[in-house]
A and B are shown apart, each in its own frame.
Chain A
Amino acid sequence: MTDRSRAALLIAPAALFIVAGFLLPVGVLLMGGFRDGAGAWSLARYVEFFATPLHVETLWRTLRLGALVTIASAIIGYAAALAIVDSSPSSRGRYIGLFILPMMISPVARTYAWVVLLGRTGLVNVLVLKLGLSDEPLRILFTETAVFLGLVQLFLPLMVLSLVSALENLPPDVTAAARLLGASWLDVFLKVILPLTREGLAVGGVLVFTGAITAYITPAVLGGSKVLMLETLLFQRVSVANDVVTASVIAMLLIVMSYAANALLRRVASVRKA
Chain B
Amino acid sequence: MRSWGRITLALVLIFLIGPFAIILAAGLSDGETLAFPPQGISLRWVLAVFELESFRASFALSLVLATASTMAALVLGTPVAYALDRYRPPGAIAISALLTSPLVVPGIIVGLALLRHFVIPLGVGVTTALFLAHTALLIPYAARVVSASLANLRVDIEEAAILLGASRPGAFFRVVLPNIRSGVLAAFILGFITSFNQVPVSLFLSGPGVSTLPIDMLSYMEFTYDPSIAALSAMLALMSVAIVLVAERLLGLSRYV
Contacts and interface: CB of A to CB of B under 8 A. Distances in A.
B245 to A, nearest CB: 8
Interface stretch (B42-50, B150-158, B196-204): B196-204
A224 to B, nearest CB: 9
Residue with the highest number of chain A CB atoms closer than 10 Å, among B90, B199, B230: B199
B60 interface: no
Interface string B168-187: 10000000000000000000
A122 B225 CA distance: 12
A87 B37 contact: no
Interface string A16-52: 0111011111101110000000000000000000000
A247 B2 contact: no
A193 to B, nearest CB: 14
B22 to A, nearest CB: 5
A258 interface: yes
Contacts of B243: 104
Given A7-B87, A15-B95, A231-B200, A153 B112 contact: no
A259 B104 CA distance: 8
Contacts of A15: 80, 95, 98-99
Contact of B113 (A28, A122, A234): A28
A160 to B, nearest CB: 8
A123 B218 contact: no
Nearest to A93: B254
B99 A29 contact: no
A156 B101 contact: no
Contacts of A116: 19, 22-23, 26, 34, 36, 230
Interface residues of B, number: 82
- Size category of the binding interface on chain A: 35 or more
A231 B108 contact: yes
A142 B211 CA distance: 26
B159 to A, nearest CB: 13
A102 B105 contact: no
B106 A117 contact: no
Contact of B13 (A26, A98, A104): A98
B36 A101 contact: no
A153 B200 CA distance: 19
A4 interface: yes
Interface string B215-257: 0011001000000011001101100110110001000011001
Interface string A87-104: 100000101111111111
Interface of B: 1-2, 4-6, 8-9, 12-13, 15-17, 19-20, 22-23, 26, 33-37, 76-77, 79-80, 82-84, 87, 89-90, 95, 98-99, 101-102, 104-110, 112-114, 116-118, 132-133, 135-136, 139, 143, 168, 193, 196-197, 199-200, 203-204, 214, 217-218, 221, 229-230, 233-234, 236-237, 240-241, 243-244, 248, 253-254, 257
A80 interface: yes
Contacts of B139: 14, 17-18
A104 B240 contact: yes
Contact of A82 (B5, B217, B254): B5
Interface string A224-236: 0000000100110
A208 interface: no
30 contacts: A4-B89, A7-B89, A11-B89, A15-B80, A15-B98, A21-B132, A21-B133, A22-B136, A25-B114, A29-B112, A80-B8, A84-B9, A100-B254, A102-B17, A107-B197, A107-B214, A108-B233, A109-B20, A110-B19, A113-B19, A113-B20, A116-B26, A116-B34, A116-B230, A161-B257, A216-B200, A217-B214, A231-B200, A251-B109, A258-B104
